[in-house]
Chain A
Amino acid sequence: MKMDSMYQEIILDHYKHPHGKGLRDGDAEVHHVNPTCGDEITLRVRLDGSTVADISYDSQGCSISQASASVLNDLLVGKQVGEAQQVQEAFLELMQSKGQSEGDEELLEDAIAFAGVSKYPARVKCALLSWMAWKDATAQALAEAPVKESA
């Protein structure tokens, strides 16, 4: 069925076996909600210099929002912050493509599985929830970083 273009095997895998789930130490924490459906995430970012050392999260929500947080963790942990931001921007662009883009596989890896979700306006917010939380938390962590270095 057509459904499969949204619920790709990769998405269902990440949903059933999420990577990096659970809260661990971080430099900044944010809580984001999707008021229309009640999806929620608490997300922490830990930076090690300019490297994304860890992204930990506690979340509840639909398969799309859960899988997307898992993919986020997979993709961004270990990257330089600048690189990670590029991936975040590419994912945002893919989700806003209304089904018109297939995504840059080299940059997005597993996350291109979400291309089909971009056709469902009601679900785009689910896919973006963790990515927007990460962006927010990273900005906060960076803002605090100079203070920490001098401390």
Chain B
Amino acid sequence: MIHTPRPGAGTASALDTDAIRKDFPILQRVLHDGKPLVYLDSAATSQKPRQVLDAMNAYYEQHNANVHRGVHTLAEEATALYEGARDKVASFINAPSRDEVIFTKNASESLNLVANMLGWADEPYRVDADAEIVITEMEHHSNIVPWQLLSQRTGAKLKWFGLTDDGRLDLSNIDEIITEKTKVVSFVLVSNILGTVNPAEAIVRRAQDVGALVVVDASQAAPHMPLDVQALEADFVAFTGHKMLAPTGIGVLWGRQELLEDLPPFLGGGEMIETVSMSSSTYAPAPHKFEAGTPPISQAIGLGAAIDYLTAIGMENIAAHEKEIVEYAVRRLQEVPDLKIIGPVTAEDRGAAISFTLGDIHPHDVGQVLDEQGIAVRVGHHCARPVCLRYGIPATTRASFYLYSTEAEVDALIEGLHTVRAFFG
């Protein structure tokens, strides 16, 4: 499988999508009397290539065993595959050490894990009643609720950055939001509802100035663009496998080594200990300290295979392809009467998810009529209800793209939207 750049003026050219699509069995599906599936919901979850499915099958058919605890051949093979996946993740995000990569079940668990580490930590990390926690108004509920819980349990004050009318973070008052009292700043790198790519550097700089820890929710970034945790200069980075070609049930929390050494474990159990007596235990070093119990083995192996697949194509190429698709989609969507994009209306600093409203037609109705034409979009508040409240809308329709998306699919969406308008007009 060779994915060479395809030349062509005005058409998406960074990737050979024809070749890529052949790797995804589900994209051949035909729905409702002959309508080919147009899958525009990758921001909710991506489809999986055969290579990932094969890797997971091969594990179950040839190597299945529990990890880290057997001397037999299968146990050693399973452990090598599982730990091999950790190596792949570490190099994918340019982590200084593989021991900084913690496997979780998804981004939500990763973010909850950080919040709990900080809630139970000793000084200087401890979040207590004198502390402030900073998030933004465009977070996914997974990066809001864990901090609300932490704030309720410790008395720490929760603050957040608001949004501008064009769907960007309002950083104009950054010095008032992030202060000497701030212990932790957690923000989304790419918004799942607005598509906005946030200016990490400005936020990280200010957080470092006041000595606050920085947590980055990279759930919508890791699948779509090169991610370098060292360049980002964050302290923790969370993301989720199922949005990047891997199965559900596997997520990642990357954390800086010194922090992982100092911070307390959250879940206790097998795998995470060094010695256990009836009165107390000592813990294994990170990452195992944070991985209690039998981990999601086949899922981690699937994530490793997904990373191999993404790396072979090249994250730069994927980002370039998506930029072309997004530019095209933003332009075509604005041709549809009464359509209003919620979020940045250019492809600048913009990810591959585009939310919009269509006159007074409720997103449920938009999604239903599109589905009838084989087009899968997501409708609702996209687990980011504060964004809908901010813009005074009950919900949006969201189309999202990935490496296998084509301009022809954007055309199908536009045609579908015209049908929706005719239907309810």
**Most B CB within 10 A of own CB, among A61, A63, A64, A126:** A63
**Hey, which chain A residues are within 8 Å of B364, CB to CB?**
37, 39, 61-64, 122-123, 126
**Hey, which chain A residues are within 8 Å of B424, CB to CB?**
12, 15, 63
B365 is an interface residue with CB less than 8 A from chain A: yes
Sort chain B's interface into a size bin.
Answer: 10 to 19
Residue-by-residue, is B26-43 near A (CB-CB < 8 Å gives 1, otherwise 0)? 000000110000000000
Asked whether, in the complex, the Cβ of A60 is within 8 Å of the Cβ of B372, the reply is no
Asked whether, in the complex, the Cβ of B368 is within 8 Å of the Cβ of A123, the reply is yes
Which of these, B394, B395, B423, contacts A7 with CB under 8 Å?
B423
Chain A, 47-68, CB within 8 A of any chain B CB = 60-64
**Hey, which chain B residues are within 8 Å of A60, CB to CB?**
394
**What is the CA–CA distance of A3 and B424 in the complex, to the nearest angstrom?**
12
B121 is an interface residue with CB less than 8 A from chain A: no
The 9 closest A-B pairs by CB, nearest first: A38-B394, A62-B362, A62-B364, A3-B372, A38-B395, A63-B365, A62-B365, A37-B380, A37-B364
**Hey, which chain B residues are within 8 Å of A3, CB to CB?**
368-369, 372, 423
Chain B residues with CB under 8 Å of chain A are 32-33, 361-365, 368-369, 372, 379-381, 385, 388, 394-395, 423-424
**Most A CB within 10 A of own CB, among B362, B379, B385:** B362
**What is the CA–CA distance of A67 and B20 in the complex, to the nearest angstrom?**
44
**What is the CA–CA distance of A123 and B380 in the complex, to the nearest angstrom?**
13
What is the minimal beta-carbon distance from B389 to any residue of chain A, in angstroms? 10
Residue-by-residue, is A61-104 near B (CB-CB < 8 Å gives 1, otherwise 0)? 11110000000000000000000000000000000000000000
Interface majority SS (helix, strand, loop, mixed), chain A: mixed
A36 is an interface residue with CB less than 8 A from chain B: yes
**What is the CA–CA distance of A114 and B321 in the complex, to the nearest angstrom?**
43
Chain A residues with CB under 8 Å of chain B are 1-3, 6-7, 12, 15, 36-40, 60-64, 120, 122-123, 126
Asked whether, in the complex, the Cβ of A6 is within 8 Å of the Cβ of B368, the reply is yes
Q: Which residue of A lies closest to B394 (CB)?
A: A38
What is the minimal beta-carbon distance from A58 to any residue of chain B, in angstroms? 14
Q: Which residue of B lies closest to A61 (CB)?
A: B362
4 extra interface residue pairs, beta carbon distance < 8 Å, beyond A37-B395, A38-B388, A63-B424: A38-B395, A39-B362, A63-B365, A120-B368
**Hey, which chain B residues are within 8 Å of A40, CB to CB?**
394
Known: A12-B424, A62-B362. A38 touches B368 (CB 8 A): no
What is the minimal beta-carbon distance from A59 to any residue of chain B, in angstroms? 11
**What is the CA–CA distance of A37 and B395 in the complex, to the nearest angstrom?**
7
Q: Which residue of B lies closest to A15 (CB)?
A: B424
Q: Which residue of B lies closest to A126 (CB)?
A: B364
What is the minimal beta-carbon distance from B309 to any residue of chain A, in angstroms? 32
**Hey, which chain A residues are within 8 Å of B369, CB to CB?**
3, 7
**Most A CB within 10 A of own CB, among B32, B369, B385, B394:** B394
Q: Which residue of B lies closest to A66 (CB)?
A: B362
**What is the CA–CA distance of A126 and B365 in the complex, to the nearest angstrom?**
11
Asked whether, in the complex, the Cβ of A37 is within 8 Å of the Cβ of B372, the reply is no
Asked whether, in the complex, the Cβ of A2 is within 8 Å of the Cβ of B381, the reply is no
Asked whether, in the complex, the Cβ of B362 is within 8 Å of the Cβ of A63, the reply is yes
What is the minimal beta-carbon distance from A8 to any residue of chain B, in angstroms? 12
**Most A CB within 10 A of own CB, among B364, B388, B395:** B364
**Hey, which chain B residues are within 8 Å of A6, CB to CB?**
368
**What is the CA–CA distance of A63 and B379 in the complex, to the nearest angstrom?**
14
**What is the CA–CA distance of A125 and B145 in the complex, to the nearest angstrom?**
26
**What is the CA–CA distance of A31 and B11 in the complex, to the nearest angstrom?**
50
Asked whether, in the complex, the Cβ of B380 is within 8 Å of the Cβ of A38, the reply is yes
**Hey, which chain A residues are within 8 Å of B363, CB to CB?**
37, 62
Asked whether, in the complex, the Cβ of A61 is within 8 Å of the Cβ of B394, the reply is yes
Asked whether, in the complex, the Cβ of A36 is within 8 Å of the Cβ of B380, the reply is yes
**What is the CA–CA distance of A64 and B364 in the complex, to the nearest angstrom?**
9
**Hey, which chain A residues are within 8 Å of B372, CB to CB?**
1-3
**What is the CA–CA distance of A1 and B363 in the complex, to the nearest angstrom?**
20
**Hey, which chain B residues are within 8 Å of A61, CB to CB?**
362, 364, 394
Asked whether, in the complex, the Cβ of B394 is within 8 Å of the Cβ of A39, the reply is yes
**Hey, which chain B residues are within 8 Å of A1, CB to CB?**
372
**What is the CA–CA distance of A136 and B372 in the complex, to the nearest angstrom?**
34
What is the minimal beta-carbon distance from A29 to any residue of chain B, in angstroms? 20
**Hey, which chain B residues are within 8 Å of A120, CB to CB?**
368
What would 22 A/B residue contacts be, using CB atoms closer than 8 Å?
A2-B33, A3-B368, A7-B423, A12-B424, A37-B363, A37-B364, A37-B379, A37-B380, A37-B395, A38-B380, A38-B394, A39-B362, A39-B364, A60-B394, A61-B394, A63-B361, A63-B362, A64-B364, A64-B365, A120-B368, A123-B364, A123-B368
